[in-house]
Amino acid sequence: MGSNPTPRTRDAPADFMRFVVWLLSLGYAKSTVESKVKLLRLLVRRGANLWDVESVKRVVALQPWCDGRKANAVDAYRSWLRMHGFSVEGLPRYVKKQKLPWIPLEREIDQLIAGCSHKVATFLQLLKETGMRCGEAWQLCWSDIDFETSTVRVTSEKHGHPRIFRLSSNLIGMLNKLPRKNEKVFGTGKLKDFRGMFCRQRGKVAEKLRNPRITRISFHTLRHWKATMEYRKTKDILHVMQLLGHKNIKNTLIYIQLEEALFKKRETEYICKVASTVKEAKQLVEAGFEYVTEIDGKKLFRKPK
């Protein structure tokens, strides 16, 4: 594809808008486009000349980044070269090392939610219950929520499958307390600014509780947590795939490893409950408990810790 760009000085940022439009025209998700542009701008600020391939390769190599981030930077530059019709041969190949995401305890998530402002807490509770991407939650409109059936319709952010989630009465109550100044549930501001507000509140909660683990909880952490817990409960990877809106099951298989890594050592430890009525038994099953046996007219249930 074409030749390499001729090394020269040019106001690369002036081309970023065209780059954005080009990526969007190819069907890239807005979040992906923003990530690519952010990486290219960062490379330019650190001395790279986007019209000089060797310059970009040198700057990327010198960054104190993991190979995954370097791979993303090279991929962003590859897209930029293709837009201009230049060759993409000779670009370095950095291999992303797959690692299992960190999963917090549910009580840590709940403590974080309880310590945040109402708007941030509602956003976090929504992510916890549905596992949707933060960008999908940020784009929600009031018309997407059916308060009569306690459900929310989600349009996938990354060309995945649309989904419908049932919401708890607690979350419905939290949503009802949000102001309705426009069609967007969480307002028309920028997700970047909202994330910054969340990080400040998260830091205060972690400091107050003296638990630094809470500072590791991000919006995406809740998606990982939900997927892991759903697989733990159902052992149905196709169900988890549908819940996350994935098109490729390869992106979902990681949660089998994650669930096994988290719970393998705790297989023999159980929480036991007793049900005296059908209603109590139903509530335990809905909470993830499994029936064991019946003694003296009482039904015994258990769930791994």
In a domain, 90, yes or no: no
Do 224 and 275 belong together in one domain?
A: no
Residues 246 and 284 in one domain: no
Q: Classify residue 99: in a domain, yes or no.
A: no
Buried b / exposed e over 188-200, threshold 16 CB at 10 Å, is eeebeebeeebee
Identify whether 290 is part of a domain: yes
Domain contains 6: no
Q: Do residues 176 and 298 both lie within one domain?
A: no
Residue 135 is part of a domain; what is its CATH number?
1.10.443.10
Residue-wise pLDDT tens digits, 108-160: 999 999 999 999 999 999 999 999 999 999 999 999 999 999 999 998 776 66
Do both 159 and 125 map to the same domain?
A: yes
Please indicate, yes or no, whether residues 133 and 243 belong to a single structural domain of this protein.
yes
* 149-204 pLDDT per residue, tens: 999 999 877 666 789 999 999 999 999 999 999 999 999 999 999 999 999 999 99
Query: Angle CA(7)–CA(57)–CA(38) in degrees, nearest 5?
Result: 95
Residue 96 pLDDT level (bands cut at 50, 70, 90): confident
Question: What is the torsional sign of CA 252, 242, 223, 259?
Answer: negative
Give residue 155's domain range.
106-263
Q: Does one domain contain both 253 and 115?
A: yes
Same domain, 29 and 42: yes
User: In this structure, what token pair is assigned to residue 63?
Assistant: 């960054």
Task: Tally the domains of the chain.
Answer: 3
130 and 155 both lie in a single domain: yes
Q: For residue 63, what are the CA distances in angstroms to 32, 135, 299? A: 21, 28, 60
The structure's pTM equals: 0.72
